[in-house]
Structure 1
Amino acid sequence: MIASILLSILFNAQADSTRPGLLIMAHGGSAHWNQTVLEAVAPLRKDRPTVVAFGMADPHTLQLALDSLAAQGVQRVVVVRLFIDGASFQHQTEYLLGLRPDPPARFLLHHHGGHGAHGTPAPLRHNLSIILSEHGLMDAPEVGPILADRALALSQDPSRESVLLLAHGTEDEVLNARWIVAMERHAQLIRALGFYTVRVETLREDWPALRAEAERRIRAFVEAENQAGRTVLVVPFRIAGFGPYRQVLEGLTYRAEEIGLLPHPALTHWIAREWERLSRKAGWLADGSPTAIAP
């Protein structure tokens, strides 16, 4: 559910409005979830006009974000989508921003209370030049070290512990396999820390039949590790929070901090790096120009 704060404006009066603005799209959730995102974004506001639009490519929050940047004198906007999968809402976002003429076949609108009616709104109103990020966090090199940090923070004796890396997943088998491949790649850093084993799983949360099978596998893994005398460390492969995993793992023995990729300074760095990369790709930053990427 999208919290009451649908759009957060993070703008420092000292920021240079002639530089490309930054619009960060994030899923949106509880007030705590949203605040976690805002804290990650806050260090970026000093050197660029910055807004956050919560919602899954929500026309209302995106329009507010564009209007805010335009009111600050911004003419060029880098849109960084803070999603695990770069394919998430990509077509819908491109259509809304006027980057492609055809709307997606299935257009889901999200209103203040969560999921709303289906329909196809008109593209958003703006006179801005926009470039959109194409990659999700599953492709970001910063993610592996964050996950390794999470596992280490939970660990007491790696040789007697196993790690369960758990993600949302998708309905489509091909796309879900892409999640698994990305998770396995990031898991290599965790495996190098000496844990007994590292297991990656997607819960496929929104599809009951697929979820039931995933829950069976996940619970069987944790139970087997417990019976072998090993402690399972659960590391969520999510932007923030623990999702429904506490319910899925109810009655089992495991250890978890129940936090996702945020908070972590490396994710702030990823956003700044995407802003710079896309600004240079669009020709909006000259070679050698300072970028003030956040640490």
Structure 2
Amino acid sequence: MNGSWRSAAGETVILVAHGAGDDETDARWLVAMNRQIGQLQSDPHCKKLRALLAATVREDWPEKREKAVAQLKEKIEEWKQSGRVVLISHRLRGAGPYRGLLEKAGLKEGEDYQMNRAAFAPHPVLTRWLQRGIERKIRAMSNQISSMVADREASEKE
């Protein structure tokens, strides 16, 4: 969420991910991305966006990729009618093959959409999200260890 992202006001941002070959797994991937979008929407910068969407392109599965890229193209064409569309690769680094896939579908970077090539890392929103997740896991593990120690101590007293 840096690089080509100049001003969030009125922009549509589409997080674009690799996706999965299995339909059920791909659907779970999109659910997870939408959960992340929910967390991102609490960030003041993201609140200015017109929309924050998720898409997968299923890049390693040609029979799935064609439909997925067509769906992404439809989203871009719909949202570009009312403002700028920025694609952010849902990867830690790099932009993946998305530009080439969209060119084959008839869309041009700079005309139809902007691409943020920096992906997520490094960015303060990602850092805060990761930090909160790590802290939750540490608390859960600490509680689990405390419970195990208490159980062991109780069984040793018996």
* TM-score, length-scaled by structure 2: 0.67
Which position in structure 2 is the counterpart of 1:164? Answer: 14
Give the one of 195, 204, 209 matched to 2:58.
204
Q: Does 1:235 align with 2:91?
A: no
Which position in structure 2 is the counterpart of 1:32? Answer: none
Q: Which runs of 5+ in 2 are unaligned?
A: 150-158
Give the one of 102, 106, 131 matched to 1:249.
102
**CA offset digits 1:185-214 (Å, max 9, x no partner):** 221245561322222111111110101101
Does structure 1 conserve the Cα–Cα contact (< 8 Å) formed by 2:33 and 2:54?
A: yes
Compared CA separation, residues 274 and 242, structure 1 to 2 (3 A): farther
Compared CA separation, residues 271 and 162, structure 1 to 2 (3 A): closer
Q: Which runs of 5+ in 1 are unaligned?
A: 1-149, 288-295
Which position in structure 1 is the counterpart of 2:36? Answer: 186
Alpha-carbon distance, 1:170 to partner:
0.9
Compared CA separation, residues 194 and 279, structure 1 to 2 (3 A): closer
* Identical aligned residues as a percent: 28
In the alignment of these two chains, the number of paired residues is 133
* TM-score, length-scaled by structure 1: 0.38
Q: Secondary structure at the match of 1:260?
A: coil
Q: Write 1 or 2 for the structure with the bigger share of strand.
A: 1
Q: Secondary structure at the match of 2:121?
A: coil
Distance 1:191 1:264 in 2: 15
RMSD: 3.2
Q: Write 1 or 2 for the structure with the bigger share of helix.
A: 2
Does structure 2 conserve the Cα–Cα contact (< 8 Å) formed by 1:151 and 1:235?
A: no
